[in-house]
Amino acid sequence: MIYRRAVKQARQDRRVKGESWIGSDQTAVDTQSLITKICRGTNDFVFCNNVFEKHLYTPTTDIKGLTQIAITQTTIYATNTRIFISKAIAAEKNKELQNLYRICLTGYELLLGQFVDANLNFAKGDYRSMLFNIGKCERFVSDCQNVLGGSRAPPQLGTQNNQNRVLVQMSRLSGELIGK
């Protein structure tokens, strides 16, 4: 499994503390199967899996922990994309392209607002409202991709849009698994 390193470290930590590791291997397998299930529902399995692998602090993370990772990473990536778009607007001389960037900027600002609300609803345990907030967001990324098209957008923005779309999907899919 991709989390062998984390499992090995957790085992070593428990041995140092004199704790038992009985039953935890199965929980790590359960975590990996949740990650696989979530990532298969996205547009980019590898990126999704890498995000979880990088931010998983324990091999026994439950679905709520995975949802928190997805929501947090979506917020971080979308914030970075909003900053990139703001800089692109300032640097762009073509007014038409500036206006197209502004459409993207508005979409990312709306996405971030919805994810702030989703994070608050997640913290309150209101998963239905959280999913309602998240459900609107993939469209904001798509709108940016559609208005700029492939040739007008800098390659970095295309990559960021694709990553943000996957992160929104991860947030939605993991949130849908809470309580199942």
State the burial class of residue 173 (Cβ atoms within 10 Å of its Cβ: 0-12, 13-18, 19+). buried
pLDDT of residue 25: 54
Query: What global pTM score does this model have?
Result: 0.83
Phi-psi region of 19 (alpha: psi -120 to 50; beta: other; left: phi over 0): beta
Determine contact, residues 127/121, Cβ cutoff 8 Å. yes
What gap in Å lies between CA 48 and CA 36, rounded to an integer?
9
Lowest mean pLDDT among 74-83, 126-135, 145-154, 170-179: 145-154
Nearest to 138 by CA among 102, 119, 114: 114
SS3 state at 93: coil
In CATH, which of 1.20.140.40, 3.30.420.10, 3.40.50.1100, 2.30.30.90 is domain 4-177? 1.20.140.40
Mean pLDDT across 100-110: 96
Residue matched to tokens 């928190």:
68
Torsion of CA 14, 18, 20, 21, to 10 degrees: 20
Domain boundaries in the chain? 4-177
State the burial class of residue 53 (Cβ atoms within 10 Å of its Cβ: 0-12, 13-18, 19+). middle
Lowest mean pLDDT among 37-41, 127-131, 134-138, 153-157: 153-157
pLDDT of residue 47: 98
Higher pLDDT, 98 or 151: 98
